[in-house]
């Protein structure tokens, strides 16, 4: 059995060295960090089994670092705070933020070892299954989204998430989940038609997430509209999501206009991975680190060539597809380093599998809506093949650029930072 790994964070070299000697004698593996910057960097790449964290450090105090880890879903190991001149208020604050215990310096040897043993025995951990957005919030594409979500959640305002299939709507909802509070994400929307208030009661004082509200029938739309009038009574944070153009459904008489107005008071658009392919290497590494920490992948690392192929290949095109690819690579690669060949073979398997292909066009739509849906997929396909070069797209499909842009705007196609060079 591998030795448990303890990270010691203290700005005093003498204390660090003493703790390392004591803990290694007890059979623990020990890493030392002399400040919060080093500890933060270590935690980004690996999860220790326990942290001994000094409160008073010159660059960034321990309580602030603890709060930062908790806010980014990185507090997944027991943390024992240490201080030579702590106060009751500081100890209470650290415990409230998630610290396991608080030790005053000088620390008695027996008390130190007893507290560590108790932490390993009692700590349940806060590891969630691919919390995702918390870790991805270190990436420049998703950091603004995480900040906006946090800002909105403070006011518990209902909001709508819009984006293509697989762009991470449920990750956003789970990012805002509070420990100890209900999180309700029903598998079926039938509840909305007959028992909408039961859903609110189940989610009382917590969060209710409803995916793809663009497919609701009339009764379900009526139930959701009723929810809006009762949300404050049940103190529920309501998050809805859709991949469809609701305004077009309203115009076609398929979606209630009053419900549309309630849903679109606050809208967040999810980033499109196809428009940020340059960020795929860093996203892939963040996801792989998360999977390794959660025990869903052995220790792995990407070769530069493997990351380049993930970035340059036209597939995957959504965040959920990228996650599935990285998880597969982590589990099936035969060596610690994920190679170019590994990525090539895995992408071929995913492209050939019907399970991971985009869903077919819904054939029960009115002719105009079905035509719009096809054209949207058609234009997105050619924009992706051309790498966002709109001159090449216009030439390929035989449309004048002004007319092309007008069509894309009407269809709601996000062209990101389009390029005009030929």
Domain boundaries along the sequence of the chain: 5-122, 133-269, 286-356, 367-411
Do 5-122 and 367-411 share a fold?
A: no
Q: Which CATH class is domain 133-269?
A: alpha beta
- The Cα 40–Cα 282 span in angstroms is 17
Inter-CA distances, 14 with 21, 85, 146, 179, Å: 11, 17, 40, 38
Q: Which CATH architecture has domain 286-356?
A: Orthogonal Bundle (1.10)
- The Cα 205–Cα 250 span in angstroms is 32
The mean pLDDT of 323-333, rounded to a whole number, is: 90
What is residue 420's predicted lDDT score, i.e. its pLDDT?
A: 47
The mean pLDDT of 26-32, rounded to a whole number, is: 93
Residues 293, 330: contact at Cβ < 8 Å? no
CATH number belonging to domain 367-411 = 1.10.10.60
Mean of all residue pLDDT scores within the chain: 83
What is residue 413's predicted lDDT score, i.e. its pLDDT?
A: 76
Name every residue whose Cβ is closer than 8 Å to that of residue 137 and which is 6 or more positions away in sequence. 72, 143, 145, 146, 147, 175
Give the length of the chain. Answer: 422
pTM for the whole structure = 0.54
Residue that wins the pLDDT comparison between 414 and 400 = 400
What is residue 93's predicted lDDT score, i.e. its pLDDT?
A: 77
E-strand ranges in 232-310 read: 237-242, 267-269, 301-302
Residue 275 has pLDDT above 70, yes or no: yes
DSSP classification of residue 11 = S
For domain 5-122, the question of CATH label 3.40.50.2300 is answered with yes
């Amino acid at each position: 059995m591998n030795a448990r790994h303890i990270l010691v964070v203290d700005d005093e070299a003498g204390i660090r060295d003493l703790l390392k000697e004591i803990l290694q004698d007890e059979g623990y593996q020990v890493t030392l960090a002399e400040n919060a910057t080093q500890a933060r960097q270590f935690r980004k790449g690996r999860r220790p089994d326990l942290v001994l964290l000094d409160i008073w450090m010159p660059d960034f105090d321990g309580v602030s670092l603890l709060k930062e880890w908790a806010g980014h879903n990185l507090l997944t190991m027991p943390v024992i705070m240490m201080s030579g001149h702590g106060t009751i208020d500081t100890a209470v604050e650290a415990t409230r933020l998630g610290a396991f215990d608080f030790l005053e310096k000088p620390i008695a040897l027996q008390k130190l070892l007893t507290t560590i043993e108790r932490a390993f025995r009692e700590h349940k951990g806060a590891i969630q299954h691919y919390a995702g957005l918390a870790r991805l919030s270190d990436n420049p594409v998703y950091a603004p989204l995480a900040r906006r979500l946090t800002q909105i959640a403070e006011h518990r305002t209902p909001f709508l998430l819009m984006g293509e299939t697989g762009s991470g709507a449920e990750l956003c909802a789970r990012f805002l989940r509070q420990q100890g509070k209900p999180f309700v994400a029903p598998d079926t929307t039938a509840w909305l038609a007959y028992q909408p208030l039961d859903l609110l009661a189940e989610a009382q004082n917590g969060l209710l997430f409803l995916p793809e509200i663009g497919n609701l029938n009339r009764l379900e739309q009526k139930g959701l509209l009723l929810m809006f009038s009762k949300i404050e009574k049940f103190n529920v944070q309501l998050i809805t999501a859709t991949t469809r153009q609701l305004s077009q459904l309203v115009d076609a008489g398929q979606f209630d206009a009053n419900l549309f107005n309630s849903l679109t008071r606050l809208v967040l658009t999810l980033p499109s991975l196809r428009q940020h392919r340059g960020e795929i290497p860093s996203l892939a590494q963040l996801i792989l680190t998360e999977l390794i920490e959660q025990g869903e992948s052995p220790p792995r690392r990407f070769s530069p060539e493997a990351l380049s192929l993930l970035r340059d290949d036209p597939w995957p095109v959504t965040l959920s597809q990228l996650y599935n690819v990285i998880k597969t690579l982590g589990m099936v690669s035969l060596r610690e380093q994920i190679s170019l060949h590994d990525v090539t073979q895995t992408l071929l398997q995913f492209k050939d599998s019907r399970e991971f292909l985009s869903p077919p066009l819904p054939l029960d739509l009115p002719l105009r809506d079905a035509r719009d849906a096809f054209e949207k997929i058609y234009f997105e396909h050619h924009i992706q093949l051309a790498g966002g070069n709109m001159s090449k797209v216009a030439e390929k499909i035989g449309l004048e650029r002004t007319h092309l842009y007008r069509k894309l705007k009407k269809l709601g196609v996000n062209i990101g930072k389009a390029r005009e060079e030929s």
